[in-house]
Structures are given as C-alpha cells and as structure tokens.
Amino acid sequence: MKFEDKIRVLIVDDSAVMRRIIMNSLMKHPEIEVVGTAANGLLAIESIKRSNPDIVTLDVEMPEMDGITALREIRKIYPVLPIIMFSSLTQRGAKATMDALTYGASDYVGKPQASADPADAYKVLEDNLIPKIKALCQRATGDGNKPTSIKERGAARREALSIPVPEKITAIPSNQTPPMASTKVVRPEGRPLYPVDALCIGVSTGGPAALMKVFEMWRTPLSVPIFIVQHMPPKFTTLLAARLTEVGVMPVQEPYEGQEALAGQAYLAPGGYHLELRRKGAKVFMHLNEDPPENSCRPAVDVLFRSAAKVYGQSLLAVVLTGMGYDGLRGAEDIIRSNGVVLAQDEATSVIWGMPGAIAQADLAEKVLPLESIPDEILFRTQLK
C-alpha cells in the first residue's frame, strides 16, 4: 500500500500507557499510520494542524483541556474531520459520551483500562476501534481521488452535500457486504399514499446527532407513535431518550415490557433489549426480549421492522438513517412485502452510509433524502388522512 493511501490517525490521550497501547494496536494494520500523539486537547488542536490526520481518537477526561471542550473547538475549524471519542462506560462516562455525540463526535469506543491485561485491551481495540476507523475513513471524493488535506477533505464533503442523489447507486461504503435477498422483493412503483399509523426509525453510527436534528425540527407532536432502534448499550439509550425529549416537542422514553404504544409518543429501544410490536385488538403493545443479537446488534433494527410490518402493514413508514453495517435490510424487505414505505438517508449527509446505503442498493427506498429533508417528509406522510 502506498504511503498516501494509508489512514492517518492522531491519538489524543493523557495516559502515556494508553497512547502506547492504542498505537501498538493500530500499527498492526498496514493500511493505518499513526501520524502523531497528544496528551491533552490544546496539544491536539495544534497537532491536527501539523499532522493532517484523516481521523482522531480523542480521550474525554484530560488535563488543561478535556476532550469535550477540545471537540467543540476542533469542530469550529474542522467540521467534518472524523473523531472517535474514548470514554469509560460508567454513568459519568456515558453522559460525557452523549455530550460528545451531540457536539459532533463521529462515534465512540468504550475505553479499556490502562491497568487491564494487555491482551484484553488489544482485543477491545481490535473488535471496536479498528472497524470504526476503517468505516469512517472509507469516504472518497467523487472522482475517486483522496483529498490531501483536512481543508480539502472538508471542501469535498461540503461540496458533496449539494450533489443530487444519483439515479443508480453502485456502492455501499461499509466494512460488510449485505446478504443477497433470498427472494426478489419488488418495490411497487406509483404506490398510493396510504395514511401512516406508525413510524419506525433505525439508526447507528452518527445516530444521536441525526435524531436530535430530526426531533428538534418538528414543531408539533406527530399524530402517530414513533419506535426507534439506535445501536447503543444500556445507560446510553436512557440518556439519549432524555436528550431527545429536551430538544423536541414529544416525550421520548425507553418502553417497559407490555407497554401500550400511544400516538404522539416516541419509544427508544433500551440498550441490550430487542423491541417487538404486537397487536391485541385495536391496541399495539411493546415487548422486550434478550434473544440473541441479530447482525451483531441488540437491539436490532430488523427485529423492530419485522414485527412492525406484521402489525401495521401498508400503514407503516420506516426510515433508515446513518449507520455502519446493514441492520434493517431484512426488516425493510418485510415492510415492502407488506406494502409499507421505507425512506433512507443519503450518502452525503450520513456519517457512514452502510445501513441506508444497503436499503438504497437493494432498491427498497421509495426516496433517498438528505437528513434535513427527512423531518418534513415524515410530517407530510403522517398527516395524510
């Protein structure tokens, strides 16, 4: 691999031991190059200017300038530079991570303890950090050439935001290749606009910021219940539900087992539990389970979509937002078979276009839209009578 093709990583952590662990882990991958390290946020900002990284790993708790403050300052200068936060999975760490995701962090990784067995620490990084670095750095310019500086990458990203979605989508930027459909799913052309009785949203990497933007754009509660699967562990989903409630006009909560779904309410699947819907007479109830993960996820979008298709049929609207992998693809097939509607976020506004890209590639999306257009599209469809 040529030098200029490598993913350039800047490591920011106040612990010399942790910096060394992260560096050693990254150096095992020939396509990754560590271009610098920094011990606090102030040094990180200066190092970004010198080292021109493709991506930054940023610790949360550091002296002089902590990671959250550094993130906000970096975003003023480099709005599209991928940044992965490192934080503990404690309640305090979860809150800090949610702050970071709100302020523009691309993703996060639970930080291994510096005192932990090195083999365990390397496994955490290999399983969680490396795939995210590769996925976040897959984006390329339209002509296939890699921008040579942060400024050029930012310009290319901003230019991409104004490029219309191509009629034929030919690639899915994701580490995983979606499975082929077992049977041909035909999305009906010229489908009538049926009234919508429920909205399902599936999202992963980049999801908290995307969901915040969607919820804060609505001025009145929707006339239907909203069911959301965001790939996150426990504690994180609780905090996310609270944030969405704060910025929006609808209460967002983690449902409890057997809870009835009500219009004008939003329900976020709790971390560690699949969310399923079941109808009993005219009412719909939510059920939680700890069945095996699907697509390596629990909660999984496929589980929600599959059950929602059975309950709501042609009256279901589903939206797939930014995320790595292809969770939601199988469930979207079920929705189309039930004559429901699926929308997908476009590549230009997605942090990672894996999940919505898989939907678009399979021709399951009735529309592929930029994030800023999705709230109005949802509002329009849920107001149909």
Contact (Cβ atoms closer than 8 angstroms) between residue 357 and residue 174: yes
Pick the catalytic residue from 231, 307, 334, 350. 231
The phi and psi torsions of 56 (rounded to 5 degrees) equal: -125, 135
Pick the catalytic residue from 54, 59, 197, 327. 327
Q: Is 115 a catalytic residue?
A: no
CB count in 10 Å sphere of residue 63: 10
Spatial distance between the Cα atoms of 365 and 329, rounded to a whole number of angstroms: 10
Contact (Cβ atoms closer than 8 angstroms) between residue 202 and residue 327: yes
Percent helix, strand, coil in the chain (nearest 5)? 35, 20, 45
- Residue 56 DSSP one-character state: E
Contact (Cβ atoms closer than 8 angstroms) between residue 221 and residue 247: no
Angle between helices 91-102 and 236-247 (to 10 degrees): 40
Q: Is 231 a catalytic residue?
A: yes
CB within 8 Å of 179: residues ≥ 6 apart = 326, 329
Q: Is 106 a catalytic residue?
A: no
Spatial distance between the Cα atoms of 121 and 172, rounded to a whole number of angstroms: 31
Pick the catalytic residue from 204, 302, 346, 350. 204
Active site residues: 204, 231, 327
